[in-house]
Structure 1
Amino acid sequence: MTDHPATCELYTPAPLWRRLAAMLYDSLLCIALAFVVTAIYTALHKLLISAGLFSDRYGAMLEAEGNVGHDPVLALVLVVSLWLFFGFFWRRAGQTLGMQTWRIRIENPDGSVISWTQALLRVIAGLLSWATFGLGWLWQWWDPQDRSWTDRLSRSRTMQLAKRKKHD
């Protein structure tokens, strides 16, 4: 399993550049996830409309928009998909694939993995950070404990892991 960073002096708050590098890596995975989820949603949506399971008014509304890109249900499905994606990784080992590459970990102050509620709060704070052009992550520069909005809102922390020693 993973080491408990809270018990090791070599772990420090992750610097912003590492967080951004991991986000760039993970954003590629999230874009792929969004494409797959949108394709499945669109296919199911068209199937349900053609089967007459949605009201004509809802179908007409989407037709007037020209696509399902303005569908609030799709937006909610995508946010839930992101929550499940990040929550799965953060609940399992505290790291997404990008975070593993850049040796950072999300954890509670005692070193334990975060809860599903904390994962949801991190996703919401992340969306707010994007909406404010990165202010939520830049906040780390002014916070005395190097916490971003995602860390503060979820009462968790993002730590840099020490390099693993190679065994002979």
Structure 2
Amino acid sequence: MATPTEKPRALVSWRLLALLYDALPVLALWFLASAGFTVAFTFLGHHDPHQNIAPFSPLQWLLWALCFAIAGAYAVLSWRRGGQTLGMRPWRLRVVAANGGTPSMRALCVRFAVGTVSLLAAGLGFWWAWIDRDRLAWHDRASGTRLLREPKR
């Protein structure tokens, strides 16, 4: 339980709402990257346009890696800059280090990587916060960060 001076931890529902909200700018960035990728490899004559939709082609894996890097850069740089992504602002959520300070770049990268694995595992790392005594998700524990809810102004 939070002490009166400690900020409350973020509930799972707020985390999921922020994640859903953050999907919009990330998808927009993915669309731009995909368009640039298609233009670069199609119009420069490197392959047939039909290969853009071929499943499991090497170019598809390259595009997926690019999209993963874009999502990671969006999250990590947003957390580093102000502790929040666009999706976290309406619900007043903020990422902080376990001691309340600014998290290191390494901790934020670990947070993103473990959070991605958590999502790929049907969101188990997020649901874990419901049974965790401190209401921490897998990526909170692994990275030594916390997601706090700021009070209303």
| TM tier, smaller | 0.7 to 0.9
Matched, 1:21 2:17: yes
- Give distance in 2, aligned partners of 1:74 and 1:154: 27
Q: Which amino acid aligns with 1:78?
A: C
**Segment of structure 1 superposing worse, 109-118 or 151-160:** 109-118
Q: What is the alpha-carbon distance in structure 2 between the residues aligned to residue 41 and residue 68 of structure 1?
A: 15
Alignment CA distance shift 1:101-1:74 (3 Å)? same
Give the conservation status (yes or no) of the 8 Å contact 2:38–2:52.
no
Which amino acid counterpart does residue 35 of structure 1 have in structure 2? F
4+ residue segments displaced more than 6 Å: none
Instruction: Confirm whether residue 45 of structure 1 aligns to residue 41 of structure 2.
Output: yes
Report the identity percentage: 31
Tell whether 2:135 aligns with 1:136: no
Q: Once the 2 structures are TM-superposed, how far is the Cα of residue 91 of structure 1 from its aligned partner?
A: 0.3
Q: What letter is aligned with 1:26?
A: D
Pair 1:161-2:150 in alignment: yes
Q: Which runs of 5+ in 2 are unaligned?
A: none
Q: Does 1:122 align with 2:123?
A: no
C-alpha distance after superposition, 1:141-167 (max 9, x if no partner): 122221101211211111111111xxx
SS at match of 1:12: coil
Q: Is 1:32 equivalent to 2:28 in the alignment?
A: yes
In structure 2, the partner of 1:88 is 77
Q: 1:44, 1:20 → 2: CA distance?
A: 35
The two structures have a TM-score, normalised by structure 2, of 0.84
Please give the root-mean-square deviation of Cα atoms over the aligned residues, in Å.
Answer: 2.2
Larger radius of gyration: 1
Aligned residues: 147
TM-score, scaled to structure 1: 0.77
Structure 2: which amino acid aligns with 1:88?
L
